[in-house]
Amino acid sequence: MGNQEFDSVWDALEDTPEQAENMKLRSALMQCLSEYIRQQNLTGTEAGRRLGLTQPRVSYLMNGKIQKFSLDALVTIASRAGFHVEMKVAPVGKSAA
Neighbours of 3 (CB within 10 A): 4
- The model's pLDDT over 28-49, given as tens digits with 9 standing for 90+, comes to 999 999 999 999 999 999 999 9
Q: Which residue has the higher pLDDT, 5 or 46?
A: 46
Q: Residue 72 belongs to what domain range? A: 27-80
Is 16 domain-assigned?
A: no
Is 97 domain-assigned?
A: no
CB within 8 Å of 81: residues ≥ 6 apart: 33, 36, 50, 51
pLDDT given at position 92 = 77
**pLDDT bracket for residue 89 (50, 70, 90):** confident
Is 5 domain-assigned?
A: no
pTM score, two decimals? 0.81
**pLDDT (average), residues 70-93:** 92
Domain count, the chain: 1
